[in-house]
Amino acid sequence: MSFKEKVTKDQFVLTLEVEPPKGVQTADIIKALVPFRNIVDAYNATELQGSIMRMSSLGMCALLEKEGFPAILQITGRDKNRLALQSELLSAYALGIRNILALTGDHPSVGDHPETKPVFDLDSVQITLTAATLNEGRDLAGNQLNRKPDFFVGAAVNPFATPMELELLKLKKKVKAGARFFQSQPVFDPAQFKRFAQQAMAAYPQIKIIAGVMFIKSEKMARYINEHVAGIQIPELLIERIRSSHDKKKEAVEIAVEIASQIQEAAAGFHIMPMGWHEQAEAFIQKITSA
């Protein structure tokens, strides 16, 4: 059963974030994903996350599909105008990629090439609408396509943004544009995630929200996120648990499992961001699926 089929049939899904290499060594990445085969439903290849130059999401997704790992293409408006975005989407479909996640993209000033000129011709809502328009068999100029694609379109959501009403309004725009699944920022406040998910699902029952899962790898990492990453706030209690733990990897998994158990009924699935901790991602999946 495909990722789209599982989501639309209300089956709980697991997605895993894959970071393309800064170079062309992909064998180790594919090898690390082998234990997740037939367990994880789809794999997000990030698109120049943090505006750090790496292999593209399109290139990584093509490799994932070739190796039998269903891919989710992340496509952003940071680097491409509407011509290039439509061209990339058509290319992705021709390469066997059926799932996309529309994002605006991080500003280049935060990355490793800060002198880069941004594009931002289209934002995440407009990219979502672009994919939906291509699905209808025409481009943004109204020209007919020679055979139309059939993308399953998703977008990002941040249940922890304030005010919540503004984030719900952004979600409404993305739903109207054609988004059918959403992947959230990492969840560290279960109560707030549930409040947001309940309101969103009540208003738009046709959508599914997949909750983000991130492991707190260290106190330093947690404090960096709190100071520099908008929309994510790791509670001091959780930071202290990691700081004082003798086995930080095990503790990070336990924290993730505790949070997951509190939000599982409100989520359509979990989006796991391992950041190199694939063994911990395996342990997390084993614990939540055996509970």
Of all helices (H) and strands (E), which one includes residue 154? strand 152-157
Give the per-residue pLDDT at 11.
96
Write the burial class of residue 35 (CB in 10 Å: 0-12 exposed, 13-18 middle, 19+ buried). middle
Q: 54-58: long-range contacts at Cβ-Cβ below 8 A with a sequence spacing of 24 or more?
A: 54/19, 54/20, 54/21, 54/22, 55/20, 55/21, 55/22, 55/23, 55/24, 55/26, 56/20, 57/20, 58/88, 58/91, 58/92, 58/95, 58/97
| Domain boundary assignment for the chain | 3-290
Give the per-residue pLDDT at 291.
66
CB 122 within 8 Å of CB 83: no
Instruction: For the chain, give the percent of residues with pLDDT over 90.
Output: 97
**Rounded to two decimals, what is the model's pTM?**
0.96
Is pLDDT of 166 > 90?
yes
pLDDT grade, residue 128 (50/70/90)? very high
Summarised one tens digit per residue, pLDDT across range 218-237 is: 999 999 999 988 778 999 99
Cα 103 from Cα 107, distance rounded (Å): 12
Cα 216 from Cα 191, distance rounded (Å): 19
> Across residues 124-133, what is the average pLDDT?
98
Closest CA to 20 of 40, 41, 49: 49
Summarised one tens digit per residue, pLDDT across range 242-266 is: 999 999 999 999 999 999 999 999 9
Summarised one tens digit per residue, pLDDT across range 37-49 is: 999 999 999 999 9
CATH code for 3-290?
3.20.20.220
> Across residues 76-82, what is the average pLDDT?
97
Give the per-residue pLDDT at 221.
94
